[in-house]
Amino acid sequence: MALRRNGQINRFPAENRNQDGTDELSILLSQVSSQDIAACPDKLRELESLREITVVRRSEDKPNTLAKGRTGARPQGLSIHRQDVIGVGTGYIGLRSSIMRWFVLSLTLLAAGPSFAASPVVRDGSAIDIAGTTYRLDGIDAPAYDQLCIDDHADSWTCGVEARDQLNRLIGGRDVRCEDLGPDTAYKNWRLGTCTVKDEAVSLNQLMVRGGFAMNSPSMGKSRFGDDEADARNNRRGLWKGCFIAPLEFRAGRRDGALLGGACRADKDREIREALFPPDPAMPSGCGIKGKYALRAKVTGNIGIYHLQMCASYPALTRPDRWFCSEDDAKAAGFRKAYNCRPFTRQRS
């Protein structure tokens, strides 16, 4: 670990370094990723203020004074120990190296802790954006935004839109915190989280299942909301009042998936499935990206291909299987961008 002293670079001496040649501060700094720092902008500003660092040796016979180093060659015998004093910017601030280690540890703990946002953005019934990070609510499975269901009157129902609106209602414009549980196994750019409205004891994850707008989805081998799902099903709340395909089955395009809910009728199986998977599904408001299931997409590990409005392939796809609101949503659902998807170009006259 090197620190700057009056234009010169000083390094920790061998006695303060580990056997592999690293010092303790370097190890702590290496544990703070750019993503962690981005989650703590206030701490980032503090770090930026530490760019110009001057290290001087505390005088042994005068503890309250600073031994001034000369510009140029490094003075004989000068080394950096835990008793060194760090000067920041134009003036000296009496921070010992132990305080610096505490600062880095504090930053790490803050970055690893829950994220807060006054204005979270709800993507769908199980995904929420907080401070630039998308969290998928862990342990639940809510309808995709473009998913259709049947209500208790046997009418088609935009249950995916309703699930998103329900999550918005639960938040009610209040602050939300999300406990980061690691990367989303389905889409590495998203995170898994347990999210809670400020001053509420029950998580949004559990409330969505309890209200019947999401299903219990075992995570890492653990089923967390099985009782909440059973209660919603028995009392026909949310999705359970009508008839629907499990969100997991819908996203995979399994038209023969099990029908769930209190309004499913065995004698109307064909009609119900046609309503759940219409040949020409209507585009949800603001979600104009078309998706089509395709066997050739499996070559790249995907289940389908998506087409943007600005692309030449877009008009030719008249009967999409899915609609997405963003490329991130399409990628998270397992779709890749069309290879022939290029912007229109104006021909020269």
For CA atoms 198, 204, 206, 208, give the dihedral sign. positive
Kindly report the backbone phi and psi dihedral angles of residue 229, in degrees, each rounded to the nearest multiple of 5, phi listed first.
Answer: -65, -45
Long-range Cβ pairs for the range 159-164 (8 Å, 24+): 159/213, 159/239, 159/242, 159/244, 160/124, 160/125, 160/284, 161/284, 162/213, 163/124, 163/125, 163/126, 163/208, 163/213, 163/214, 163/238, 163/239, 164/122, 164/123, 164/124, 164/125
Kindly report the backbone phi and psi dihedral angles of residue 136, in degrees, each rounded to the nearest multiple of 5, phi listed first.
Answer: -90, 125
Task: Say how many CA atoms lie within 13 Å of 283 toward its Cβ.
Answer: 13
List per-residue pLDDT tens for the chain, 349 residues long: 444 444 443 444 444 445 554 444 444 444 444 444 444 444 444 444 443 333 333 334 444 444 444 444 444 444 444 344 334 443 334 434 444 554 444 444 444 455 555 579 999 999 999 989 999 999 999 999 999 999 999 999 999 999 999 999 999 999 999 999 999 988 999 999 999 999 899 999 999 999 999 999 988 768 899 999 999 999 999 999 999 999 999 999 999 999 999 999 999 999 999 999 999 999 999 999 999 999 999 999 999 999 998 888 899 999 999 999 999 999 999 999 998 876 555 545 4
Task: Say how many CA atoms lie within 13 Å of 162 toward its Cβ.
Answer: 16
Confidence at residue 35, expressed as pLDDT on a 0 to 100 scale: 45
Confidence at residue 273, expressed as pLDDT on a 0 to 100 scale: 96
Confidence at residue 345, expressed as pLDDT on a 0 to 100 scale: 52
Q: Is 48 exposed, middle or buried (0-12, 13-18, 19+ CB in 10 A)?
A: exposed
Confidence at residue 219, expressed as pLDDT on a 0 to 100 scale: 80
Judge whether 49 and 89 are in contact, CB under 8 Å. yes
Selection from 36, 53, 47 nearest residue 1 by Cα: 53
CA dist 98 and 117 (Å) reads: 32
CA dist 88 and 340 (Å) reads: 55
Confidence at residue 272, expressed as pLDDT on a 0 to 100 scale: 95
CA dist 156 and 61 (Å) reads: 85
Confidence at residue 247, expressed as pLDDT on a 0 to 100 scale: 96
Show Cβ contacts of residue 127 under 8 Å, excluding neighbours closer than 6 positions: 134, 135, 136, 137, 190, 332
Query: For residues 158-195, b (16+ Cβ closer than 10 Å) or e, as one string?
Result: bbbbbbbebbeebbeeeebbbbbbeebeebeebbbbbb
Q: Which amino acid is residue 37, in one-letter code?
A: I
**pTM for the model:** 0.67
Confidence at residue 181, expressed as pLDDT on a 0 to 100 scale: 95
Show Cβ contacts of residue 47 under 8 Å, excluding neighbours closer than 6 positions: 37, 107
Confidence at residue 9, expressed as pLDDT on a 0 to 100 scale: 39
CA dist 26 and 93 (Å) reads: 21
β-sheet bridge partners, residue 179: 194
Coil, strand or helix at 293: strand
Judge whether 317 and 338 are in contact, CB under 8 Å. no
